Amino acid sequence: MTTQAGMIKSADCLFCKIVRGEIPSKKVYDDKNTIAFLDINPATPGHVLVVPKKHAEDITKAGEEELSDTIVVVKKISELLMEKMNAIGVNVVQNNGKHAGQLVSHLHFHVIPRYPNDNVIITYQRAHLSESDLEEIRKKLSQQEKKDMDFDF
Ligand code: AMP
Ligand code: ZN
């Protein structure tokens, strides 16, 4: 079920159901604000999803406190994967919005351990922008920060 704004309600959210224990999961971490469990279709063995317990559709909707707690758990899980799974690297992937590949509308971080010769491909084509194009974008993005950024270098 969705609300008028098209948002999935917490009662119907897959990851909220996992948080409440209504759907089973392979949990690897659980504290007051955050859980982490194995992705059911892992990119590599040990692929973990780190999820704030409080429902937020994506990173733009999440409270700063929940987000801070979540990212600290992402760090812990990354360390665990290196130590216990002998990962030689870790990709942290986080999708927001269906156009960015988000399938489950409850904020989550993928922590994907990397191994020699694994088949993971995380890539995008890189454009070359002119200095003036870059500057135009920089100005657009730094509008609200203008006062804070008036440093004398
Ligand atoms: P995203 O595309 O970023 O929304 O990723 C959602 C992820 O959730 C996918 O990698 C799925 O494999 C994973 N997933 C879906 N259902 C479950 C489930 N019941 N338990 C664990 N992981 C799941
Ligand atoms: Zn949810």
Domain spans of the chain, in order of start: 10-128
DSSP for 59-119, written as a single string: TTTS-HHHHHHHHHHHHHHHHHHHHHS--SEEEEE---SGGGT--SSS--EEEEEE-TT--
Among protein residues, the one with the nearest Cα to ligand 1's atom 3 is 102
User: What was the pLDDT predicted at 108?
Assistant: 98
- Asked whether the predicted pLDDT for residue 2 surpasses 70, the reply is no
Tell me the CATH number for domain 10-128: 3.30.428.10
**Residue of 8, 27, 103 to test ligand 1 pocket, by largest number of atoms within 8 Å of CB:** 103
d(CA 106, CA 17): 11
For 102-143, what is each residue's pLDDT tens digit? 999 999 999 999 999 999 999 999 999 999 999 999 999 997
Residue 107's closest CA among 41, 63, 44? 63
| Residues known to be catalytic | 108
- C-alpha–C-alpha distance, residues 27 and 47, integer Å: 12
Instruction: Answer whether residue 1 shows pLDDT above 70.
Output: no
Where does ligand 1 bind, in terms of residues with CB under 6 Å?
14, 23, 25, 37, 39-41, 49, 95, 101-104
User: What pLDDT, on a 0 to 100 scale, did the predictor assign at position 6?
Assistant: 47
Q: Is the pLDDT of residue 7 over 70?
A: no
What pLDDT does 43 receive? 98
Please provide the distance, in angstroms rounded to a whole number, between the alpha carbons at the two ends of the chain.
Answer: 53
Give the angle subtended at the CA of 85 by the CAs of 84 and 88, to the nearest 5°.
115
Alpha carbon 93 to chain centroid, angstroms = 6
Q: pLDDT, tens digit, for every residue of 10-44?
A: 889 999 999 999 999 999 999 999 999 999 999 99
